[in-house]
A and B are shown apart, each in its own frame.
Chain A
Amino acid sequence: MAKVTIDGQSIEVPDGTTILQAARMIGGDNVPPAMCYHSKLKTSGGYCRTCIVKVSKGSDKDPRPMPKLVPSCRTTVMDGMEVQNNTSPEVLEARRGVVEFLLINHPLDCPVCDQAGECHLQDLGYENGAAKTRYDFPRRKFNMIDIGANIKMHMTRCIMCFRCVKTADQITDNRVHGMLNRGDASEISTYIEKAITNDFSGNMIDVCPVGALTDKTFRFKSRVWFTKPMDAHRDCKKCSGKVALWEKGNEILRVTARKDKWGEAEEWICNECRFEKKDVKDWIIEGPRHIDRHSVISLNHYENVVSKLKIDIAKQQKQLVDKK
Chain B
Amino acid sequence: MGKKILLEHINVPGINTLEVYRQNGGYASVEKALKTMAPDAIVEEVKKSGLRGRGGAGFPTGMKWSFLAKPEGVERYLVVNADESEPGTFKDRYLMEKIPHILLEGMITSSFALGAKTSCIYIRGEYFYVSRILEAAIEEAYAAGLLGKNILGTNFSHDIFVQVGAGAYICGEETALLESLEGKRGNPRIKPPFPAVAGLYGCPTVVNNVETIASVPYIVMNGGDDYAKIGIGRSTGTKLISASGHINKPGVYEIEMGITVEDFIYSEEYCGGILNGKKLKAVVAGGSSVPILPADLILKTEKGEPRLMSYESLSDGGFATGTMLGSGGFMVYDETTSIVKNLYTFARFYHHESCGQCSPCREGTGWMEKILHRIVEGHGKHGDTDLLWDIQRKIEGNTICPLGDAAAWPVASAIRHFRAEFEEYINHPERIKEVKHLQELVS
Which residues of chain A have a CB within 8 Å of any CB of chain B?
46-50, 52, 68-69, 71, 74, 93-94, 97-98, 100-102, 104-105, 134-135, 137, 159-160, 162, 178-179, 181-186
Contact = CB atoms under 8 A, between A and B. Distances in A.
A68 B398 CA distance: 7
Interface stretch (B76-84, B126-134, B347-355): B347-355
A60 B394 CA distance: 30
A185 B354 CA distance: 10
A68 B397 contact: yes
B360 A160 contact: no
B372 to A, nearest CB: 12
A101 B363 contact: yes
A188 to B, nearest CB: 10
A184 B354 contact: yes
Given A102-B363, A182-B354, A186-B362, A97 B398 contact: yes
Interface in B369-399: 370, 387, 393-395, 397-399
B398 A47 contact: no
Give the residue among B359, B360, B397, B399 with the most A Cβ atoms within 10 A: B359
Q: Which 8 A-B pairs have the closest CB atoms?
A: A97-B394, A186-B356, A183-B354, A101-B363, A46-B190, A184-B366, A68-B397, A101-B359
Interface in B147-163: none
A47 B359 CA distance: 7
8 contacts: A49-B398, A49-B399, A52-B398, A102-B359, A137-B367, A160-B359, A183-B354, A184-B354
A159 B357 CA distance: 10
A134 B394 CA distance: 14
B358 A49 contact: yes
Contacts of A101: 359-360, 362-364, 367, 394
Contacts of B170: 182
Contacts of B364: 101
Given A74-B190, A179-B185, A160 B362 contact: yes
B394 A183 contact: no
Given A98-B359, A134-B387, A183 B398 contact: no
User: Chain A: interface secondary structure?
Assistant: loop
Given A183-B362, A184-B363, A185-B356, 18 more contacts: A46-B400, A48-B358, A49-B358, A49-B360, A50-B359, A98-B394, A101-B363, A179-B356, A182-B356, A183-B351, A183-B352, A183-B356, A183-B366, A184-B354, A184-B356, A184-B362, A186-B355, A186-B356
A93 B358 CA distance: 17
B213 to A, nearest CB: 28
A100 B394 contact: yes
B365 interface: yes
Give the residue among B353, B355, B394 with the most A Cβ atoms within 10 A: B394
B168 interface: yes
Contacts of A50: 359
Nearest to B383: A134
Give the residue among B387, B397, B398 with the most A Cβ atoms within 10 A: B398
B377 to A, nearest CB: 13
Given A101-B360, A134-B387, A183 B367 contact: no
Nearest to A185: B356
A98 B391 CA distance: 10
Given A46-B190, A184-B366, A98 B397 contact: no
A94 B168 contact: no
A132 to B, nearest CB: 13
Nearest to B360: A101
Contacts of A46: 190, 358, 400
B336 to A, nearest CB: 30
A68 B395 CA distance: 12
Nearest to B355: A182
A159 B353 contact: no
Contacts of B363: 101-102, 104-105, 184
Contacts of A105: 363
Contacts of B397: 68-69
Nearest to B394: A97
A93 B387 CA distance: 15
Contacts of A185: 356
A118 B352 CA distance: 34
A69 B398 contact: yes
Contact of A135 (B185, B354, B355, B367): B367
Give the residue among A135, A159, A179, A182 with the most B Cβ atoms within 10 A: A182
A159 B400 CA distance: 16
A233 B401 CA distance: 45
A38 to B, nearest CB: 15
Contacts of A48: 358-359
B355 A98 contact: no
Contacts of A69: 397-398
Interface string B317-358: 000000000000000000000000000000000011111111
Interface string B20-64: 000000000000000000000000000000000000000000000
A2 to B, nearest CB: 16
Contacts of B365: 183-184
A54 to B, nearest CB: 11
A160 B398 contact: no
Contacts of B395: 97
Contacts of A68: 397-398
A33 to B, nearest CB: 13
Given A49-B399, A137-B370, A183 B355 contact: yes
Contacts of A184: 351, 354, 356, 362-363, 365-366
B356 A160 contact: yes
A46 B185 CA distance: 17
Give the residue among B355, B358, B397, B400 with the most A Cβ atoms within 10 A: B358
B358 A104 contact: no
B357 A47 contact: yes
A89 B353 CA distance: 31
A182 to B, nearest CB: 5
A185 B165 CA distance: 21
Nearest to A178: B185
Nearest to A35: B359
A265 to B, nearest CB: 23
A44 to B, nearest CB: 11
Given A68-B397, A183-B351, A49 B359 contact: yes
B394 A94 contact: yes
A137 B367 CA distance: 8
A101 B393 CA distance: 12
A162 B398 CA distance: 18
Contacts of B185: 178-179
Nearest to A99: B359
Contacts of A98: 359-360, 394, 398
A181 B362 CA distance: 12
A159 B356 CA distance: 10
A80 to B, nearest CB: 19
